[in-house]
């Protein structure tokens, strides 16, 4: 088949969950199909070149200003109050991208267009001469509903609530513009179906490269815990603040030497400032997260907000680390509490589970080994890429 992927960026470097998932699945598709990629960016960039090295054609459109700071950003937020569409749609939609997409569809005669993020469904609404699939990395309205629930500032809560209702309305409409959709979890596939789609969405789990993320023989700091994730994503920011303010003080009472390392790109000032707290290190962007995971005694996922399923957990499990996560943090993964993970909610229980992993070597080893076996059995990219390809083939064969 001849496939076109549309996205907000070329997925490189591979330093975020979305980029890792997108690249690995698209690379698997390119082994069986002709794949092109249209995104905001520069065709001469390292990112575009990386895709071409992996047999993926690239088309670039100059990116709009999407900075989330400064007077222009706040004016855009204000202006969005008068739009029917949520900010995550209006901030990404440009006439230039739409025009380039329309040209390519007319010239290249693609069999199928893959919309690699739900807000980009706006671009495919009026396209009728190709099959269309929306890739839902999350149910975006679920994330916004959780933002609203966890926000204490009244003005922020009001604005987030407005955005939540707009995102929900957009999602209820946009999946009907496509011929198919993929979700990361069974629950999210059911949610998409509940929007009234005439088709059955399929589930393509998150995955992991089990050769790249593998156990290492290295010196482990018995009092070190680690979290990895892009720090420019709000759910990860909330997780870091939640841990620093509510969980770490409880840990310090029983284990004063404890050190928590938060690894991830582009931390804003409020996250950088957490590094001033004794026992917390904020690294910013790093070359290789595996060094930090390998040296930690426990991997933590204190998420309260989010959707999809967690690449970060799969990576830690692949490296044979015991994982302590909230129930939200492990949503969508076929994990079993106290077998291959520790699932706990609330600051006190979370702290006690971290301490249990540090103090009970048999428990820690058992959970770590079971987690590694789980990803080997279920979460390899090759298996998931074939499932994605089969779904697209089935969709293309409906004509």
**Judgement on whether residues 248 and 173 belong to the same structural domain of the protein:** no
Q: How many domains does the chain have?
A: 2
Q: How does pLDDT run across 126-154, given as a tens digit for each residue?
A: 999 999 999 999 999 999 998 899 888 99
Are the beta carbons of 391 and 199 closer than 8 angstroms?
Answer: no
**Judgement on whether residues 183 and 228 belong to the same structural domain of the protein:** no
**Judgement on whether residues 237 and 140 belong to the same structural domain of the protein:** no
CA distance 67 to 73: 7
Boundaries of domain holding 389 = 2-207+381-396
- Does residue 342 sit within a domain? yes
Q: Which residues contact 257 (CB under 8 A, 6 or more apart)?
A: 223
Q: How confident is the model at residue 309 (pLDDT cuts 50, 70, 90)?
A: low
**Judgement on whether residues 251 and 139 belong to the same structural domain of the protein:** no
pTM of the prediction? 0.80
Total Cβ atoms within 10 A of residue 170? 21
Q: How does pLDDT run across 322-365, given as a tens digit for each residue?
A: 999 999 999 889 999 999 999 999 999 999 999 999 999 999 99
State both tokens at 142: 């679920």
Q: How does pLDDT run across 278-287, given as a tens digit for each residue?
A: 999 999 999 8
Q: How does pLDDT run across 42-64, given as a tens digit for each residue?
A: 999 999 999 999 999 999 999 99
Closest CA to 112 of 226, 34, 173: 34
Q: How confident is the model at residue 68 (pLDDT cuts 50, 70, 90)?
A: confident
**Judgement on whether residues 163 and 234 belong to the same structural domain of the protein:** no
**Judgement on whether residues 237 and 188 belong to the same structural domain of the protein:** no
Measured torsion, CA atoms of residues 221, 227, 228, 230, in degrees rounded to the nearest 10: -140
Side-chain-side CA neighbours of 115 within 13 Å: the count stands at 26
Report the CATH number at residue 247.
Answer: 3.40.50.2000
Cα of first residue to Cα of last residue in the chain, in angstroms, is 13
């Amino acid at each position: 088949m001849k496939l076109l992927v549309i996205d907000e960026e070329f997925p490189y470097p591979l330093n975020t969950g979305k980029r890792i998932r997108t690249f690995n699945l698209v690379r698997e598709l390119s082994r069986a199909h002709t794949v092109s990629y249209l995104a905001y960016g520069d065709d001469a960039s390292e990112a575009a070149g990386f895709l071409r090295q992996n047999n993926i054609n690239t088309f670039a459109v100059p990116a709009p200003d999407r900075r989330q700071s400064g007077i222009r950003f706040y004016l855009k937020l204000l202006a969005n109050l008068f739009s029917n569409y949520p900010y995550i749609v209006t901030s990404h939609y440009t006439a230039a991208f739409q025009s380039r997409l329309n040209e390519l569809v007319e010239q290249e005669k693609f069999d199928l267009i893959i919309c690699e993020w739900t807000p980009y469904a706006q671009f495919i609404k009026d396209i009728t001469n190709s099959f269309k699939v929306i890739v839902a990395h999350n149910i975006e309205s679920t994330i916004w509903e959780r933002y609203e629930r966890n926000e204490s500032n009244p003005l922020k809560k009001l604005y987030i609530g407005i955005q939540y209702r707009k995102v929900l309305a957009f999602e209820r409409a946009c999946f009907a513009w496509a011929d198919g959709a993929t979700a990361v979890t069974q629950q999210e596939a059911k949610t998409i179906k509940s929007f009234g789609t005439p088709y059955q969405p399929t589930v393509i789990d998150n995955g992991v490269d089990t050769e790249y993320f593998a156990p290492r023989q290295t010196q482990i700091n018995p009092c070190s815990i680690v979290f990895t994730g892009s720090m420019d994503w709000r759910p990860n920011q909330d997780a870091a603040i939640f841990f620093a303010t509510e969980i770490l003080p409880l840990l310090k009472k029983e284990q004063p030497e404890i050190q928590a390392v938060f690894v991830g790109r582009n931390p804003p000032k409020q996250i950088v400032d957490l590094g001033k707290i004794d026992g917390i290190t904020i690294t910013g962007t790093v070359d290789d997260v595996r060094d930090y995971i390998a040296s930690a005694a426990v991997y933590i996922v204190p998420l309260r907000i989010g959707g999809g399923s967690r690449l970060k957990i799969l990576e830690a499990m692949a490296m044979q680390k015991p994982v302590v996560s909230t129930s939200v943090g492990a949503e969508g993964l076929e994990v079993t509490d106290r077998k291959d993970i520790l699932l706990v909610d609330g600051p006190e229980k979370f702290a006690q589970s971290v301490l249990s992993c540090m103090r009970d070597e048999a428990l820690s080893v058992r959970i770590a080994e079971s987690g590694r076996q789980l990803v080997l059995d279920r979460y390899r990219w090759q298996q998931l890429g074939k499932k994605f390809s089969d779904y697209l083939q089935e969709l293309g064969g409906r004509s």
